[in-house]
Amino acid sequence: MTLLAFVILLTAVTVGYVINLRAARAIRDGGTRMHSLESFHGGYAALMTLVPTFFLIIIWMLFQGTVIELIVKSGISDQLEGLGTGETQLVMAEIRSIAGGRIFGTPEQWKLDAAERLVALRGLSGWLLVAVTAALATTMLYVSRRTVSSEFRARQGVERIVHVLMAGCATVAIFVTIGIVASLLFETFRFFQMVPFWDFLLGTNWEPQIPIREDQVAAEGAFGMLPVFLGTLVIAFVAMVIATPIGLLSAIYLHEFASNRIRGVVKPVLEVLAGVPTVVYGFFAILVIAPAIRSFGTDLGLPIASNTALAAGSVMGIMLIPFISSFADDALGAVPRSLRDGSLAVGATQAETMLKVLFPAAIPGIVGGILLAISRAIGETMIVVMAAGLIAKMTINPLDSVTTVTVQIVTLLIGDTAFDSPKTLAAFALGMVLFLMTLCINILALRIVRKYREIYD
Amino acid sequence: MTMFDVTKPETAVDQTDIKIAASNVQVFYGDTQAIKDVDVDIQDKTVTAFIGPSGCGKSTFLRCLNRMNDTIDSCRVEGRILLDEQDIYAPQVDPVQLRAKVGMVFQKPNPFPKSIYDNVAYGPKIHGMARTKGELDEVVEKSLRRAALWEEVKDRLDTPGTGLSGGQQQRLCIARAVATRPEVLLMDEPCSALDPIATAQVEELIDELKQRFSVVIVTHSMQQAARVSQKTAFFHLGNLVEYDDTNTIFTNPQDPRTESYITGRIG
């Protein structure tokens, strides 16, 4: 039925376009000068039909389930009386599955009746949708056909509608972000009802093993985020120490010194590097880097953990090289050529020009890129899940095994989880910490970029 | 008025040395030839103007004189250009050294995003021309005075050069170019982005600069060429059509194409 509604919609849109186009053409051929081109008259009809009808169908689809269930429920209110929310939901689920043809055991007659009613209502709703769609589309077709005249400003009309649509698209992202933050906040708030805020923020002990069931034997959990946070910082630091110089130098080389042939080979390779799935980087860390570091350590007589922060961090650094290098390349490319010429014309070498003119002028973009890379390093999950440790340790030694915020979120949410235990809710608190960290870094990045812009432009 | 009774006060100082001698110069961008067989002798302590319609190759030729064309990959230069009888395209010549000797000012003012002081001190610092801070200060002040900018900026040398007005920026670029003590100053339409007042200031400055340098200026404006230059070269479609004293070019051109251009029929 929904499909049919969409077919009607599409047909109406096409018909509206053609009718108005023809009507406008007829007026023009009659010798009158039109304000708008004929195609705008057509487009106006198409949009006037499309937008309201489309939203009607979407809203209908969103709410028809809820409305139908409310009607069914009110029909069996006698039987539901005295039941709690959970039990009511169970009954409704059973009715739904009966309606879907999956009958278990022998349900009571009233349930069967309700299911039958549900099926009937669904069918009715489908036909009603088709009817309403057709009616609305026809009305809009009529309304827009009436507007066709030589003075009607169809172009402005089309522009206004498209304007509103674009503004809508722009706000979708904002509202989704607000929604995500709100849900995160809500769960975090629940967590802090169970675990004191300061214990979480300043605790140096992270042991989220708590009993999930009443009768389970387990230690009393400790939720101090500092060691986890520190582990994230250590790994991100290692990653940036590797990614920043290599990324910047490769960008400078490719932008200023490499011949066209070398650039033609190296740039695509770097871009391929950017497209490697992080899982593959994880394999690389486990199979190549970690054993290499450990055997190197044993040769030196150092005790080195098998999943060191160094291994995870350096592979993450490799992942970030193309990221930083492409940002730096863009920033250098945005420096006007006239500055380069001006420097070369006073007899500066290419290296001096790069070091003293191009690089300083590109710094805002480069710093912005580096900070975004830090955000990514902090939020990166897959590599550390595979290559970093699980035990939280208060250490800044990159040769030790540390864990990160993202790793802990994953382990907390894997397996048998109850959404009312601090163990699970701790994941949301950690997520909130992660979100706030990257938010601060991004704000800082924006501020730095803006500050340097003021000086340089 | 015949060509014999024109008075030419500028030619009185005509007997100066030849600073740049270009012969048989050809420039190619990939397969297209931008400059064909150009021969020009540019005199010392003189303002030489290159005029001609857009795309005639005058800027391209100017950029040959300090080998700025080297920075364009597809560009190839043939022929001989001698600066003080030394071939600037000879393999032992370092273009970096050459550009310190042959300064350049561009069409659009292009001060670096640095302070006024650092803009002027950029060249001297790179070439190690000042050993102490005091010497550097002196070079900066002298260059800014030569560019007729000192009085306007002496109290704000540490503010960004990009914050100056367009005319001031262009004079700052001239100060930056003269700070490396060049012998030749190339100017690629230096006034095309400036308003009439700033243009007048820069033109006055060019007149003073010719005391010390050989100045080569590319310009779109024939009035400007007539005002500031002693010698004028007219380029058309990559050819050097005519090269003579400015007065002769503007009052008594030998080539019909030159005459058409200066009377406004082509261009």
- Would you say how long chain A is, in residues? 457
Q: Whole-number mean pLDDT of chain B? A: 88
For the sheet containing B214-218, what is the strand order? B86-87, B75-83, B18-29, B32-43, B239-245, B231-236, B47-51, B214-218, B184-188, B102-105
Burial class (CB in 10 A: 0-12, 13-18, 19+), B215: buried
Instruction: Return the pLDDT at A69.
Output: 87
Contact partners, residue B51, CB within 8 Å, separation at least 6: B58, B218, B219, B220, B222, B225, B232, B233, B234, B235, B261
Interface-testing mutation among A346, A352, A356, A451, with chain B (most B C-beta atoms within 10 A): A346
Token couple for A298: 């044993």
Q: Chain A contacts of B113, Cβ < 8 Å?
A: 339, 360-361, 455-457
Could you give the 3-state DSSP secondary structure of residue B108? coil
Answer yes or no: is pLDDT of B156 > 90. Answer: yes
The type of residue at A285 is: A
In a domain, A191, yes or no: no
Q: Which of B99, B106, B113 sits opposite A347 (nearest CB)?
A: B99
Q: Which of A336, A343, A347 sits opposite B127 (nearest CB)?
A: A347
Instruction: Return the pLDDT at B150.
Output: 92
**CATH number of the CATH domain containing A228:** 1.10.3720.10
In a domain, A291, yes or no: yes
B16-33 pLDDT tens trace = 588 999 999 999 998 899
Q: Which residues in B have their CB inside 8 Å of a CB on A?
A: 66, 68, 71, 73, 96-101, 103-104, 106, 108, 110-114, 122-123, 126-127, 160, 162, 173, 176-177, 179-180
Instruction: Return the pLDDT at B13.
Output: 46
Q: Chain A contacts of B114, Cβ < 8 Å?
A: 360
Q: Which of A340, A346, A360 sits opposite B100 (nearest CB)?
A: A346
What's the rounded Cα separation, in Å, for the pair A412 and A250? 39
Chain-chain contact of A349 with B98 (C-beta, under 8 angstroms): no
Q: Does A343 touch chain B (CB under 8 A)?
A: yes
Q: Does A457 touch chain B (CB under 8 A)?
A: yes
SS3 string, A397-423, reads CCCCCCCCHHHHHHHHHCCCCCCCCHH
Instruction: Return the pLDDT at A152.
Output: 87
Chain-chain contact of B99 with A342 (C-beta, under 8 angstroms): no
Residue spans of the domains in chain B: they are 9-262
In a domain, A412, yes or no: yes
Q: Which of B110, B160, B180 sits opposite A342 (nearest CB)?
A: B110
Instruction: Return the pLDDT at A174.
Output: 92
Q: Cα separations (Å) of B149 from A65, A214, B106, B176, B248?
A: 78, 85, 17, 11, 34
Q: Chain B contacts of A457, Cβ < 8 Å?
A: 113, 162
Q: Which domain holds residue A136?
A: 2-162
Instruction: Return the pLDDT at A451.
Output: 73
| Residues A415, A313 share a domain | yes
Instruction: Return the pLDDT at A277.
Output: 92
What's the rounded Cα separation, in Å, for the pair A71 and A28? 54
Q: Cα separations (Å) of B206 from A143, B15, B41, B48, B196?
A: 71, 20, 20, 11, 15
In a domain, A186, yes or no: no
In a domain, A193, yes or no: no
Question: Helices in B77-221 by DSSP H: which ranges?
Answer: 95-101, 116-126, 133-146, 150-153, 166-178, 196-209
Number of domains in chain A: 2
What's the rounded Cα separation, in Å, for the pair B193 and B171? 12
Answer for the pair B179, B152: CB distance below 8 angstroms, yes or no: no
Q: Chain A contacts of B111, Cβ < 8 Å?
A: 342
**Can you give the pLDDT of all 457 residues of chain A as single tens digits?**
788 999 999 999 999 999 999 999 998 888 888 888 888 999 999 999 999 999 999 999 999 888 988 888 888 888 777 777 778 888 888 888 888 888 777 888 888 888 888 889 988 999 999 999 999 999 999 999 888 888 888 899 999 999 999 999 999 989 998 999 999 999 899 989 888 888 888 888 888 776 555 566 555 678 888 899 999 999 999 999 999 999 999 999 998 888 889 988 988 888 888 889 999 999 999 999 988 988 888 888 887 877 888 999 999 999 999 999 988 998 898 888 889 999 999 989 999 999 899 988 888 888 888 998 999 999 988 999 888 888 888 888 888 888 899 999 998 888 777 777 888 888 899 999 899 989 998 888 888 777 766 555 4
Q: Does A257 touch chain B (CB under 8 A)?
A: no
Question: Minimal CA–CA distance to A252: which of A239, A238, A242, A266?
Answer: A266
Contact partners, residue A108, CB within 8 Å, separation at least 6: none
What's the rounded Cα separation, in Å, for the pair A371 and A376? 9
Q: Count CB neighbours of A367 within 10 A.
A: 19
Instruction: Return the pLDDT at B266.
Output: 65
| Residues A228, A372 share a domain | yes
Could you give the 3-state DSSP secondary structure of residue B75? strand
Which of A143, A162, A181 terminates a domain? The answer is A162
Q: Chain A contacts of B96, Cβ < 8 Å?
A: 347-349
End-to-end CA distance of chain B: 26
Torsion on CA atoms A422, A426, A429, A434, rounded to nearest 10: 180
What's the rounded Cα separation, in Å, for the pair A200 and A206? 9
| Residues A269, A406 share a domain | yes
Question: Minimal CA–CA distance to A373: which of A247, A207, A191?
Answer: A247
Answer for the pair A212, A421: CB distance below 8 angstroms, yes or no: yes
Mean pLDDT score, B57-61: 90
What's the rounded Cα separation, in Å, for the pair A159 and A156? 5
Chain-chain contact of B106 with A338 (C-beta, under 8 angstroms): yes
In a domain, A92, yes or no: yes
Token couple for A158: 């089309």
Answer for the pair A306, A382: CB distance below 8 angstroms, yes or no: no
Which of A162, A177, A207 terminates a domain? The answer is A162
Question: Minimal CA–CA distance to A373: which of A237, A282, A281, A182?
Answer: A237
Instruction: Return the pLDDT at A232.
Output: 92
| Residues A426, A324 share a domain | yes
Q: Which of A341, A347, A456 sits opposite B180 (nearest CB)?
A: A347
Chain-chain contact of A345 with B99 (C-beta, under 8 angstroms): yes
| Residues A133, A29 share a domain | yes
**The domain over range B9-262 is classified in CATH as 3.30.420.40:** no
Residue B267's pLDDT band, with cuts at 50, 70 and 90, is low
Element at A207 (helix H, strand E): strand A206-207
Which of A110, A143, A162 terminates a domain? The answer is A162
Q: What are phi and psi of B37, to 5 degrees?
A: 50, 55
Q: Does A189 touch chain B (CB under 8 A)?
A: no
- How far is C-alpha B31 from the chain's CA centre? 27
B190-221 pLDDT tens trace = 988 888 888 898 899 899 889 988 999 999 88
Q: Calculate how close chain A gets to B219, using CA atoms only, in Å.
A: 18
Chain-chain contact of B123 with A339 (C-beta, under 8 angstroms): no
Question: Minimal CA–CA distance to A20: which of A9, A31, A34?
Answer: A34
Beta strands in chain B, from DSSP E residues, in sequence order: 18-29, 32-43, 47-51, 75-83, 86-87, 102-105, 184-188, 214-218, 231-236, 239-245
In chain A, % helix, strand, coil (3-state, to 5) comes to 80, 0, 20
In a domain, A205, yes or no: no
Q: Cα separations (Å) of A65 from A122, A134, A285?
A: 8, 21, 48
What's the rounded Cα separation, in Å, for the pair A381 and A387? 10
Q: What are phi and psi of B72, to 5 degrees?
A: -100, 120
Q: Which of B71, B123, B160 sits opposite A347 (nearest CB)?
A: B123
What's the rounded Cα separation, in Å, for the pair A189 and A185? 6
In a domain, A209, yes or no: no
Instruction: Return the pLDDT at B193.
Output: 83
Could you give the 3-state DSSP secondary structure of residue A228? helix
Contact partners, residue A446, CB within 8 Å, separation at least 6: A368
Q: Calculate how close chain B gets to A255, using CA atoms only, in Å.
A: 13
Answer for the pair A359, A253: CB distance below 8 angstroms, yes or no: no
Torsion on CA atoms A104, A105, A109, A115, rounded to nearest 10: 0
Q: Calculate how close chain B gets to A362, using CA atoms only, in Å.
A: 10
Token couple for A291: 């054993």
What's the rounded Cα separation, in Å, for the pair A324 and A332? 12
